[in-house]
Amino acid sequence: MKILYLILVFFKCTQSFEDVDVQNENRWDNKLENDAKNKQAEYSELYKTNVLANLGKTQIIIPPYISEYFIQLIENGKKKIKLFGEYIKSELAIEDDLIILIERVNKFYEKKVKTYISHAVRQEPESSKEHLILDIVSFSNLIFHNDQRKMLQMIIEIKAENASSIDTFAETIDKQRKDHMSNEMNYLCVKINICRRYPGFIDNFSDLLNDVLKLDDNKLIDLKNKTKQLLEVRINFFKSFINEDVLDLLSKRLQYSTLNTQDIKNLLTFVTSTTMQRYRLITNGEKEMKSRIKALRLLLDIIDKAFANQADDLTTITLDTTAKAIQQWKEGFRSDIDMPLKLFVEHIVSILRIWWDIKTREEVMALVDIIVHGHTDDVILEHLFTYGSSFLE
């Protein structure tokens, strides 16, 4: 009876898998009844290309080797979901067979990813093939992560294990998300020669910001003020790749947020969400917004490349040390965050100063102008959008 109930719960929850926006992923259980009537209409529009039957039947023909890669991408995700289901069954000593539930989760995972591939290839002229493929890989990993969490939640509801067991599984899911993405990026590099280090500095920095978001309001304001002071001491360095009007704007924004912790949280949430969706296809919006997104992608890649050039593990050690210090500060095991924060900022400045030459800093300045103002008079931009950054070659 338990497994029957699980299946019924899963059928009831499937429409929640439609919500793949990072900012809304935790609200899936509140959307069940509202989305049910819209599900069929949405699917019928998305499936017009018959991509579910054969990836080669999409409206835009993609090379066979890329189609084969997409198929393998989906199969890899399904295998990991199955293994995770078996792992849950073993750890919770569940006597009932979960195979029907696991198969249902896998079918929905496959359907959702194939649907997105169909949608993505129709948008391909708006994006380079490289970003198209990176976006699909990132999206499949997001669905993989969501499906594992939701399958776990359904099983835990029946098993009613204690909170520590749930926390342990949550950590396992997060680790699997990172490992799965790392494996897929490595495979993508070998198979199609599109290479990105994962996790890169930006990915790890995003995780660090998520830790910062867990601080109480007083500590959050304190951290913001101390960070601002450390950056101001090094203002001349930042002027080498950020125009003064932009720096003034950012300074005023930070000063205003001192009075409103929600502003700080909104900003950090926006940054983490943006970095997680950095390769998301530009399917709509004005030309100015599309330019901003393209500029942001390039900027994040340029930052990642600077830290990837480091031969040692000092960046990883610095990030880990800072994350542990923030956690200890949050829990009251240390009185301040001053020294770890100072070392972290100094490390970032040191790496960028070493690897960003004058030409790269000029490129970064043009990209920051676009991101902040939506436009720039810099002639470098046209070359950047056409040929990419010379730093990434």
Query: Residue 282 — pLDDT band, cuts 50, 70, 90?
Result: low
Extract the tokens encoding 239.
Answer: 């002027």
The residues near 112 (Cβ < 8 Å, ≥ 6 apart) are 17, 18, 20, 143
247-268: per-residue pLDDT in tens? 888 777 766 655 678 888 888 8
Q: Is 80 exceeded by the pLDDT of residue 167?
A: no
Query: Residue 172 — pLDDT band, cuts 50, 70, 90?
Result: confident
Average pLDDT, the chain: 78
351-383: per-residue pLDDT in tens? 999 999 999 999 999 999 988 888 776 677 777
DSSP-derived letter for residue 258 is T
For the residues 9-14, what does the mean pLDDT come to? Answer: 42
**C-alpha to C-alpha distances, 146 to 26, 69, 81, 182, nearest whole angstrom:** 9, 22, 11, 17
Please tell me the predicted confidence (pLDDT) of residue 258: 56
H/E stretch holding 47 reads none
96 conformational bin, left if phi > 0, alpha if psi -120 to 50, beta if neither: beta
Q: Is 70 exceeded by the pLDDT of residue 164?
A: no
Query: Residue 330 — pLDDT band, cuts 50, 70, 90?
Result: very high
Between 163 and 341, the higher pLDDT residue: 341
Between 124 and 109, the higher pLDDT residue: 109
Torsion angle of alpha carbons 221, 204, 116, 76, nearest 10°?
Answer: -150
Amino acid in the structure at residue 339: M
214 phi and psi, to 5 degrees?
A: -85, -5
Please tell me the predicted confidence (pLDDT) of residue 256: 63
Q: How far apart are CA 143 and CA 148, in angstroms?
A: 8
Q: How far apart are CA 153 and CA 381, in angstroms?
A: 47
Please tell me the predicted confidence (pLDDT) of residue 131: 79
Q: How far apart are CA 10 and CA 126, in angstroms?
A: 36
CA-based end-to-end distance of the chain: 59
Please tell me the predicted confidence (pLDDT) of residue 281: 63
Whose structure tokens read 């970032």?
A: 348
178-237: per-residue pLDDT in tens? 899 999 999 999 988 888 888 899 999 999 999 999 999 999 989 988 998 999 899 999
Q: How far apart are CA 26 and CA 172, in angstroms?
A: 18
For the residues 52-57, what does the mean pLDDT come to? Answer: 43
For the residues 31-52, what does the mean pLDDT come to? Answer: 37
For the residues 27-40, what does the mean pLDDT come to? Answer: 38
Query: Residue 1 — pLDDT band, cuts 50, 70, 90?
Result: very low
Please tell me the predicted confidence (pLDDT) of residue 7: 37
Please tell me the predicted confidence (pLDDT) of residue 254: 67
CA neighbours closer than 13 Å in the CB half-sphere of residue 192: 24
Between 286 and 39, the higher pLDDT residue: 286
Please tell me the predicted confidence (pLDDT) of residue 378: 64
Extract the tokens encoding 59.
Answer: 């409206």
Burial tier of 332 (Cβ tally within 10 Å: 0-12, 13-18, 19+): exposed
Q: Quote the radius of gyration of the chain (alpha carbons, Å).
A: 23
